[in-house]
């Protein structure tokens, strides 16, 4: 949603696509679509698994650029419903690749994830590191997307760029992410689950910084590159700072004016202890530098949360 609004403000003709799945609150998704409609952005209801429909959409609208940010997210949910990840992260992405290939799209930018780094302990994570050992099915599907995109770039000269997002947060975010989960629980006086007994670090990246990076990358399709000559690129996109989970919670407590009730638990299957993005590659290519400090980003998030869900109510 944030990217569509930014591109619209920049003068692009933008069409959004969502299947409005039941994975989380559909009302929130509909409200986002309402924000898009108010700004003059079309939002079509479509399941991208339907290859013919996806191809027809791209052909009909004459898209020159495609930003594919749709997916079945969530590391922990991938342990519960693996089939949703095959369907939405592999099959749907295949439909998008086919649509872009036949329409000769100038550049496809797609969302990968920091999860592809698995249990890698060398921080910060660099695009040069091996990512052949994912520790969750979600991560495996994102790695598969990178391989599929590279193959299409090599075989069909389709310029593609994968962006490995690092823990995005901000207004209108997903209810299954830490900012939303913790805020709702703290306001409701309910316990929050603190995994690995609090020994966790994340490269929390504010959504506006992510959007800035994506917008810059969209206008820079990759050139053919060794070893295969494929016009395919991969970039980390993060805040370039590992923040302790306890620091994140303390900042939310300060903004909400309430103390969190913490339930300390072991590390969850599929989780990793720390993420931290090296961003030299995207900075050199586009000039991207994140600008939003955690305190500033969480202030904006909490202000939106109170406005959307209503003051002190739990809501999400």
Q: Where are the domains of the chain?
A: 2-168+205-240+273-291
Catalytic residue among 110, 117, 138, 152: 138
- Give the angle subtended at the CA of 46 by the CAs of 50 and 11, to the nearest 5°: 120
N-terminal to C-terminal alpha carbon distance within the chain: 18
Contact 52, 40 (CB under 8 A): no
Contact 99, 17 (CB under 8 A): no
Query: What pLDDT does residue 119 have?
Result: 82
Query: Is the pLDDT confidence value at 313 over 80?
Result: no
**For 230-288, what is each residue's pLDDT tens digit?**
999 999 999 999 999 999 999 999 999 999 999 999 999 989 999 999 999 999 999 99
308 noted as active-site residue: no
Quickly state the pLDDT bin for 315 (edges 50, 70, 90).
low
- pTM: predicted TM-score of the whole model, two decimal places: 0.95
**For 36-87, what is each residue's pLDDT tens digit?**
999 999 999 999 999 999 999 999 999 999 999 999 998 889 989 999 999 9
Query: Is the pLDDT confidence value at 312 over 80?
Result: no
CATH fold label, 2-168+205-240+273-291: Rossmann fold (3.40.50)
Quickly state the pLDDT bin for 311 (edges 50, 70, 90).
low
Beta-bridge partners for 193: 263
Q: Which residue bears the tokens 């069909």? A: 156
Question: Cα–Cα distances in Å, from 273 out to 126, 239, 297?
Answer: 17, 17, 22
């Amino acid at each position: 949603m944030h990217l569509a609004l930014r591109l619209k403000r920049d003068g692009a003709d933008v069409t959004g696509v969502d299947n409005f799945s039941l994975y989380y609150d559909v009302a929130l998704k509909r409200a986002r679509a309402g924000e898009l409609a108010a700004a003059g952005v079309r939002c079509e209801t479509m399941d991208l698994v339907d290859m013919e429909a996806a191809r027809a959409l791209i052909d009909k609208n004459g898209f020159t650029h495609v930003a594919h940010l749709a997916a079945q997210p969530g590391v922990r949910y991938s342990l519960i419903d693996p089939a949703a990840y095959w369907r939405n992260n592999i099959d749907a992405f295949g439909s998008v690749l086919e649509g872009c290939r036949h329409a000769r799209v100038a550049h496809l930018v797609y969302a990968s994830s920091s999860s592809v780094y698995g249990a890698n302990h060398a921080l910060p994570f660099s695009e040069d590191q091996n990512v052949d050992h994912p520790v969750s099915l979600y991560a495996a599907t994102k790695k598969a997307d990178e391989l599929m995109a590279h193959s299409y770039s090599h075989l069909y000269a389709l310029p593609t760029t994968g962006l490995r997002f690092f823990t995005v947060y901000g207004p209108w975010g997903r209810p299954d992410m830490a900012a939303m989960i913790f805020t709702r629980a703290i306001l409701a006086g309910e316990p929050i689950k603190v995994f690995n007994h609090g020994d966790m670090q994340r490269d929390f990246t504010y959504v506006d910084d992510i959007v800035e990076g994506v917008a810059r990358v969209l206008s820079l399709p990759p050139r053919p590159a060794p070893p295969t000559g494929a016009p395919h690129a991969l970039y980390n996109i993060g805040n370039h700072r590992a923040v302790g989970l306890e620091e994140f919670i303390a900042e939310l407590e300060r903004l909400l004016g309430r103390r969190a009730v913490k339930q300390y638990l072991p590390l969850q299957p599929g989780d990793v202890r720390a993420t931290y993005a090296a961003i030299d590659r995207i900075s050199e290519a586009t000039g991207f530098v994140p600008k939003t400090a955690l305190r500033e980003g969480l202030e904006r998030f909490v202000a939106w949360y109170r406005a959307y869900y209503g003051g002190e109510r739990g809501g999400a």
